[in-house]
Amino acid sequence: MGFSNNLLRRVGPIAIRAIGIQRNYNSSPLKKLLCSSTTTSSSSSFHLKNFFSSGAALSKKPTISDHTLIQVIESEIKCSEESDDYNRVDKPPPAFPFEIEDNLGQRTLILKREYNGESIKVVVYMPSLITGDMDDDDDDDDEYEKANQSSIPLIVTVSKKKGPSLEFGVTAFADEVIIDSMSVKESIVSEDELPYEGPDFTSLDENLQKAFTKYLELRGIKPSTTNFLHEYMINKDSREFLYWLKNLKNFVEK
């Protein structure tokens, strides 16, 4: 959003004026008061102490530039609260198989479920909404089409009670789930060890790649699931931005 640019345009002149105020300190009433309190008498010390303790010189209230900054942040908060993404209700589809763990302040979403004695965990990241830079005359039409589609990255871990687990790196498009990587993770690995986790997934036999795609589909990683997650993460991004703005405002106000 244009928050940072608006912030610089509106706060920058205030900051410059604040520097000017600092430079004019030599002619300020504060310096005159401090200079007139050079006597060592107890009464002068008492008056000087009262001056600072009363808050006349040091105030905890926000400065003029802080007020301007707060106003800009409040304006952005209002716009965010009125946006459609923030007000949209995220309801999983009827057959959604996962339990959702969504912690405010986190960039990822966690999904968990049990399937035939397996524990399945999915880490969902913010969707990629940037289109590709490929030329229209690219020879591979499928690759060009995918590069210009929005997608959502996932890390899927399938574990059993004992032994290693399988970890998949997945990119989910609107109509297709593509496995980018697959590795075998040992439950206990020494820091000095560099275990072999498997070959590059795309180098596997095509039938084996398709079989693992079906393997994940049976465990809930399919377009009907990932399309909902795509919309959910767009809404989450709006909520996280609003939460960040409110934390920012609270910091400036203190």
pLDDT for 25: 41
Half-sphere exposure of 232 (CA within 13 A, CB side): 22
Q: What are phi and psi of 151, to 5 degrees?
A: -140, 165
Report the distance separating Cα 239 and Cα 95, nearest Å: 25
**Residue 90 placed within a domain:** no
Q: What are phi and psi of 155, to 5 degrees?
A: -120, 115
3-class SS shares of the chain: helix, strand, coil, % to 5: 45, 15, 35
Beta bridge partners, 177, equal 172
In the chain, the number of structural domains is 2
pLDDT values of the chain reduced to their tens digit, one per residue, 254 residues: 443 444 334 434 434 333 443 444 444 444 444 444 444 444 444 444 454 445 544 556 667 788 889 999 999 998 888 876 666 667 888 889 999 999 999 999 999 999 999 999 999 999 887 544 545 555 566 665 666 688 999 999 999 988 889 999 999 998 899 999 999 988 776 677 777 888 999 999 999 999 999 999 999 999 999 999 998 998 899 899 999 999 999 999 88
Q: What are phi and psi of 117, to 5 degrees?
A: 85, 0
Does residue 124 share a domain with residue 186? yes
Residue 242 CB neighbour total at 10 angstroms: 19
Report the distance separating Cα 64 and Cα 7, nearest Å: 15
Smallest CA-to-CA distance from 172 within 234, 212, 115, 125 is with 125
Whole-prediction pTM: 0.67
**Residue 21 placed within a domain:** yes
**Residue 246 placed within a domain:** no
Q: Calculate the alpha carbon distances from 182 to 60, 76, 157, 213, 236 in Å.
A: 56, 42, 10, 11, 28
Residue 237: both structure tokens together: 């991004």
**Residue 83 placed within a domain:** no
Q: Find the helix packing angle between 3-23 and 64-81, rounded to 10°.
A: 170
Decide which of 60, 87, 108 is a domain's last residue: 60
Does residue 109 share a domain with residue 50? no
- Domain ranges, residue 164: 99-236
**Residue 34 placed within a domain:** yes
